[in-house]
Structure 1
Amino acid sequence: MFNGILIEKDEQGYRANLQRISDEQLPPGDVTVRVAYSTLNFKDGLAITGSSPVVRSFPMVPGIDLAGTVEASAHPDYQVGDEVLLNGWGVGEGHWGGLAQRARLDGNWLIPLPKAFSAAQSMAIGTAGYTAMLAILALERHGVTPEQGEVLVTGANGGVGSFSIALLARLGYRVVASTGRTAEHAYLQQLGASDIIDRASLSQPGKPLAKERWAAVIDSVGSHTLANACAATRANGTVAACGLAQGMDFPASVAPFILRGVTLAGINSVTQPKALRMLAWDRLGQDLDPALLPLISQEIGLSEAIEAAPRLLAGQLRGRVVVDVNR
Structure 2
Amino acid sequence: MRFESLSQIAALANTLPARDAAARAAALARQNSLTKPPGSLGRLEDLALFMAEWRGTDRPVITKAQALVFAGNHGICAQGVNPYPQAVTAQMVANFEHGGAAINQLCRANGADLSVVALDLDNPTADFTTGPAMTEAETLDAMNRGAAAVDSGADVLILGEMGIGNSTIAAALTSALFDATPADWVGPGTGSDAEGIRRKIVAIEKGLALHGGQNAMATLAALGGREQAAICGAVLAARAARIPVILDGFICTAAAATLHAADPRLLDHCVVGHASAEPGHRRLLAAIDKKAIVEFDMRLGEGSGAALALGILRAALECHNGMATFGEAGVSEA
Q: Normalising by the residue count of structure 2, what TM-score does the alignment of the two structures yield?
A: 0.29
Bigger helix share:
2
Structure having greater relative contact order (Cα 8 Å, sep ≥ 6): 2
Bigger strand share:
1
Q: Normalising by the residue count of structure 1, what TM-score does the alignment of the two structures yield?
A: 0.30
